[in-house]
Structure formats: structure tokens, C-alpha cells
A and B are shown apart, each in its own frame.
Chain A
Amino acid sequence: MEDAQLDAFVAAAEDGVDCDGLVAARRSGGDSQNEAAGEYVFAVDGDRRDGLDEAAFRSVASDHSSYVGNWYFWERGVPPGDDRVAFLRWLEGTDTTQLPERLDRLESGVHATWGQLHVTVSLDPDGDAGEYSRQYALCHADDVTSDGADLTEYHDPLDARELSKLDEDGRYRPLKTAPMLQRGWHFPDLGPHELVRAVECFYPATIPNWYREGEGDLDIDNWRDTAERQTGIYEVVEELPREAVEWVAQACCVDSQCLKRREWEYDDDEELAAPAGDGEFPCREPCSLVVAAARKWTILEGESERTYEFELTPSEKNQLEELIDAVADGRVDDVREADVGDGANRYRARYLRAKRFDEDGNLCGVETTNGDGE
């Protein structure tokens, strides 16, 4: 073990050390115990030595270099912020696997998943914080089995901003936690600061919110709180009917659309029926996309219903339903070119339009009557 680490450990004992089963302290004057002031205590997983002078303390610390080296990493190698440290600890399973077994596992790599991200934590003997420094490999969870050679290599965590901007088809992803993260990239060797930074770029604010939840301190704003806070063009969302809020959550907030786990409800007294999701990190209030979409729905819900009469065959009615399902489930691009058995097939849709739309695009020639009372 490097002298610098040992010196740092001796200095830290003044204020007390408690890390992964390692406990160290220096007795202060006036201690009610029998030990003399200035003597050190060293304990590893129940093996406790009291009354050590500094030389003996250094010696016993050297004998437990993996514990002290591990402490040094957590002391010197990690970014500031309790939430970030908690996240890094969670990644390597500090709750479930104790030292020294955890260090053995890190030799071969410990895996964790965060949304669509896959993180592999391993030891990096050449790292900045000594031989027990950690190194993090980051890739898309669906690329884990890929040979790294198939993946484009990145080293700057800020490249995650570009990687998360567009989906596989080059379309803009305004919602970072939408489950459409593009594949084909990997960060093979991030340090702890860089790993946290990359995760923050892929999934902004998920680490602090997950940490707050774990501490029982997540500040949730329900639908009513959020709607009532809006001003300007969004002020109208307050008028969205109660049942429509259910449909908003079903449309936007389920796992197929967003990887955050919805923790907000209608209000303090009424929960929403839509599934909240199974995501690792929570959603603490309706996001800006939900508010913007809700504004549109509020305006649309302001229209009153009216009765239209359409003449359709049973199969044509089924086809309309199939078309809406196909768009809603995002499977339009998966419909095969010649699969005319699928109602969402392009030829089938074109046939229906040719048969049932008039020259103005009205279904069955039935005009849309606009506005109330017109």
C-alpha cells in the first residue's frame, strides 16, 4: 500500500472512519473509557484492536490493505454529492455484498442496469485513487452481449448528450427517459466522476431523485399541484377533466413510453389507475411533455360530443381500430409491405381511403361539424 494512502488513513482516524466494515478512530482526551487519549482503535468486521500507538496502528492498517485501499477510493476517488456516492455504491451492490467478497467480484466485474443503461464496475489498479480505484464500462443494455468491436467507443462522458438526442431512426428524443435510446456505442473505461456525468446526460436528475426517494425525501407534485402552478398558455390544463388525467397517464407515463416510475397521483387523496411502472428511478411530477400534451387535450376536451353516422363493414370498423392501435403502439414501421392481412398495412389503408373518403377527406362523405352550436 502506498504511504500516501496510509498517511491519509491515519489523518482521517482523527475524525473517525467507518467504511464497508472498516472502523478506525483516535481516542480524544477526556474519554471516559480506560484507554489513554491519543491511542488508536482499528476494527475490521468484528476483529477489534484497541490501545494502538501510531506505529502499531499503521502496521495493522497495512495488514488490511484491501480495506484501507477501498476506503481510500471512497474517500478520494468519487465525485462530491451524497446522491452520486450512493449511486456508485448501489451499482456495485454494497447493500448485498460485503468486503472482501465484493472486491473479489469486482475483479471479474459487477453489473447493474439503470433504465436502458448497462454498467459494469471493475477494479482499476492504475486508477487515480489507488489500486482499489473503480472503473466503469457503460453501454446500452441490449448491447451487453455484443462484441465490443461492433460498438463505437467513446471516452468523453459529454458525448452522451449527442447519443441520447436522437433515436435509432434519427428522430429527436425530447423525453430522455423514453425507452428508445439508440444502441451501438460504449464507454469502456470511465472513472467515477465521468460515469456519473454520463448517466446524468443520458437520464438527467434521475440520480438525485432516486436518492431522495431512498432517503424518504422525494418531493412529489401530484397532477393538481402541477396543473395549478401553470401560467401563460399552460394555465388551461387545470381544466382538464378528472377522467382525462387517467388517459394522459395511460397515454404518456406507462413503461412502454417512459422508464421513470410514476410516483405522482391525481392529488393527495386520489390515485390514478394507470400502472406506475417498474423503473428504478421515480418520476416526481408531470413532465413538460405531459403538460404540453395535456394542454392540447384540455382544448380538445372542451368540444362537446356529437353523433355522426358512418356506413362501414364490420371489417372496416375493425381496420380503423387496428390502425389506431398500430399508431399508438408504434408498430407502423413494422408492418410488412405485402402483409395485406394487417389492417395497418399501407395498401389496406390506401384502399380504405379510396373507398370511404370523399374528395375533401371526409370519412364516408360525412362532414365534420365544427364548433359548438354551428
Chain B
Amino acid sequence: MQALVIVAHGSHLNPESSAPTFAHADTIRATSAFDEVREAFWKEEPHFREALRTVAADEVFVVPLFISEGYFTEEVIPRELRLEGWDVTDWESGDGVSASHATYTADDVEKRVHYAGPAGTHDAMSDVIVRRAESVSGDPDVGEGFGLAVVGHGTKRNEHSARAIEYHADRIRERGRFDEVEALFMDEEPEVDDVTEYFDSDDVVVVPLFVADGYHTQEDIPEDMGLTEDYREGWETPATVDGQQIWYAGAVGTEPLMADVLLERAADAGADVGDAIEQVREGTRVSGPADD
């Protein structure tokens, strides 16, 4: 038997924080690639500490639904899962975006635990950002005439946070699909507040690299960009700011294709996922406007 455990932050205050985790777990469950698919959280239940005992399988693939390498993926999660002999160098990252997986035993259960790098730094995440641009614009071919802003926290909270944002922005830029691609941040230059200064395109899709919608994605960023004076009144999509059309996407982690990244992480760590990746990629595809 093999189990997938998706570990995410969760919240004591925001009931919607766990919603993307459950949604992606449901998508993966529907593929039948794993005997069991479970969720565990830092701030909700089951807690990381009790995650491994909630599955019967003896092969467990743990995938963090986190955006970047850092405190949670390197310290908190391995400690709380009680991974024996965890050493961050086992991930062979070092540049903040290359962690793949490593295998351990845990000292409270008799299981093999394959601990994967965060979803947010997987190469497939670039596709999710692009898919997010497609879904917010309603155009499966969006790109020409459009700028794309990938938005993250910045370095104040996590040294690798900016690295993950830049990594995906660079990868998407290299594909040449969008006229312009920029990495923007909440708490460092280049700042998302000045989004229109960084783009010449008339249309700009803004995709925040966050797992769940909450204060930052639904209050802070929309107000800072000038989409709305007051987040409670909502905003138009697209909204006109300084004569440019801003297509604001909300947290990328809510995009259904995110389930694909979790599957890819587990597959990279050795899980047998059959054709689940193809199923998810196909099942979450964005329809063109004519099909709506």
C-alpha cells in the first residue's frame, strides 16, 4: 500500500485556508493512484505530529503544499513528523529551488516516509502559474500582448521565498509566450504596488505565489496595486490601473492544476502514480471562451 499525505500550513482563524489542500487531495483521490490520500496541518487537525498515524500504508509520500524551501519545509515539518536522521543536505538543494526528496523512517510509526520538496519549487509549478493566467483571463492561449507578474512575499520572512518567485518568472520568460514576465514582491523591490511601472503591455496578469487566499491575496495586494480602495468592495477583473488592464488572479494554490504538482512531487519521490498525472492535467484544463 502507498499513501499520500499533503502537509500544509492551515489556520486557526481563516476557515478557507485549508480549502485548496482538501480540493487537491480530492482531485488526487479521484485518480485512485494512492490507496490513501490524507491532509495534515501545522494549525489544524490532524496536526503534522499525528499525520503519519492516520494512514495504514507502510509507504508514505509526504508532499508539502508550501511555496518555498525554508523554515517550514526544512525544520518544522521534519521535526514534527519525527523523521529519523533528517538532514537538510539530503535534499541536495542549496540554491533554494532544487529540493527533490529523501527517504526516512519516523520514530513513532513503522513506515517508510518519502519526504518531498515543496510543491512551489517544482518545475511543474511554472505550468500552474501559466494555467492560472489562462483561467483568470478565460483564454487558454493567453500570452501575446500580455505581461505576467509573478508575486511573492519577498525576503523578510524567508530567504528562499524570492528565489522561488524569480525561478518561475525566469522559466516562463524563457518560453517567450508572454510579452513580458516580471517577479514582484510585497516587501521588497520591485514592489507589486508599482506593478504598472514594470510593464509596457496594455494587459497584465498578476499571479500571487501563495497557497491559499487570505489576508495578503484578498486584502493587501488588491489594495496595494490600486485595484480597489477597499477590498471589502471587491474589484473588477480586469481592473484599469494607470490606463493598463490588470487581471488579478488570487492565490495560485487554488488553481486545480496544483494537484498535478503534488502528484509530480510524489512520483519524483518514487510513488507509482500510473496515469494520474495525465488524468489531472487533462481534467483541470481551461476551456476557451467559446466553451464556457
Chain A residues within 8 Å of B, Cβ to Cβ: 79-81, 83-84, 158, 161, 165-166, 172, 174-177, 200, 204-205, 208-209, 212, 219, 229, 231-232, 285, 287-289, 292
| Contact call B1/A80, Cβ cutoff below 8 A | yes
Listed in ascending order, the chain B residues whose CB lies under 8 Å from chain A are 1, 11-15, 22, 26, 35, 42-47, 49-50, 53-54, 56-57, 71, 75-76, 79, 108
The answer to whether residues A172 and B56 also contact, given A231-B76, A285-B49 and a CB cut-off of 8 A, is no
- Distance in Å from the Cβ of B52 to the closest Cβ of chain A? 9
B interface majority secondary structure: loop
Q: Least Cβ distance of B72 to chain A in Å? A: 9
B44: A residues at CB distance < 8 A: 174, 176, 288
- Which single member of B12, B53, B75 contacts A231 (CB below 8 Å)? B75
List 7 interface pairs A-B (beta carbons < 8 Å), by A numbering: A172-B13, A174-B11, A205-B45, A208-B54, A212-B53, A232-B76, A288-B42
Cβ contact within 8 Å between B56 and A80: yes
Bound: A45/B116 CA distance, A: 51
Determine the chain B residues whose CB is within 8 A of the CB of A292 once the complex forms.
12, 43
Contact across chains for A229 and B50 when beta carbons are under 8 A apart: no
Q: Would B56 and A174 count as touching, CB distance under 8 A?
A: no
Q: How far is the CA of A229 from the CA of B79 in the complex (A)?
A: 9
- Bound form: Cα–Cα A289–B14 in Å: 14
Closest to B22 in A: A161
Known: A165-B15, A174-B12, A288-B42. A200 touches B54 (CB 8 A): yes
Do residues B56 and A204 form an inter-chain contact, with CB atoms below 8 A?
Answer: no
On chain A, the residues within 8 Å of B108 by CB distance are 219
Q: Which residue of B11, B42, B45 has the most chain A CB atoms within 10 A of its CB atom?
A: B45
In the complex the two chains form, is A287's CB within 8 Å of B47's CB?
A: yes
The residue that A209 contacts in the complex, of B26, B42, B50, B76, with Cβ under 8 A, is B50
Query: In the bound complex, do residue B50 and residue A288 qualify as a contact, i.e. CB atoms below 8 Å apart?
Result: no
A200–B5 Cα distance when bound, in Å, is 14
Task: Kindly list chain B residues whose C-beta atoms are within 8 Å of the C-beta of A231.
Answer: 75-76, 79
Known: A166-B15, A174-B13, A232-B71. A288 touches B53 (CB 8 A): no
Given contacts A174-B13, A205-B54, 17 further A-B contacts (CB under 8 A): A176-B44, A200-B54, A204-B45, A205-B46, A205-B53, A209-B53, A212-B53, A219-B108, A232-B76, A287-B47, A288-B12, A288-B42, A288-B43, A288-B44, A288-B47, A289-B12, A292-B12
Chain B residues near A175 (CB, 8 Å)?
45
Which B residue sits closest to A221, measured CB to CB?
Answer: B49
Residues of B within 8 A of A288 (CB): 12, 42-44, 47
How long is the Cα–Cα vector from A158 to B43 in the complex, in angstroms? 20
Contacts of B57 in A (CB 8 A): 80
B50 near A204 (CB under 8 angstroms)? yes
For A83, the chain B residues whose CB sits under 8 A away are 53
Beta-carbon nearest neighbor of B71 in chain A: A232
